[in-house]
Amino acid sequence: MKNYESLNDALSDLKKRGYEDDFATESFGLYGGDLDMRLDPEDFHVDEIDRVESSTHPGGDVVLYAISYSATVKGTIMVEAGAEEASAEEESRDKESAERGSADLTK
C-alpha cells in the first residue's frame, strides 16, 4: 500500500503504471463501461489496495483497487471507505440471520 497525498495523485500514478480502465462494482462482479466488459470475481486479480483521503469525494476516504485481467487489461475501482465497511457489516448481519434461521429449523 502506497501513501498518496490525494486521490488525483493515486489515480495518476496508477495510470502511469498501466491501470487505465475504470471499473464499477455490480452485483455480479465488475463492469468496465469503456470496454463494455463484465468480469466475474474469479476473472480478475487485485494487484494493489490503497486507502486515500479525498477532499473532492463526498464520502471522504476512498478505497482504490488496482486490478488486472489477462495480460492486457488493467484498471481501477473506487469505493467509498464507509460503503465498504457498511457492506461488510451488512454481509455479517445476513450471515448471522441465516445462521439463526437454520438453528430455528433444528428445534
Q: What is the pLDDT along the chain (107 residues), one digit of tens a residue?
A: 787 888 899 999 999 999 999 999 998 899 999 999 999 999 999 999 998 887 665 667 889 999 999 878 999 999 888 754 444 444 444 445 444 444 444 44
Q: What is the 3-state secondary structure (H, E, C) of the chain?
A: CCCCCCHHHHHHHHHHCCCCEEEEEECCEEEECCCCEEECHHHCEEEEEEEECCCCCCCCCEEEEEEEECCCEEEEEEEEHHHHHHHHHHHHHHHHHHHHHHHHHCC
Query: Is 30 within the bounds of a domain?
Result: yes
Q: Check residue 36 and give its pLDDT.
A: 94
Total domains present in the chain? 1
Q: Structure pTM?
A: 0.70
Query: Is 78 within the bounds of a domain?
Result: yes
Query: Is 14 within the bounds of a domain?
Result: yes
Query: Is 2 within the bounds of a domain?
Result: no
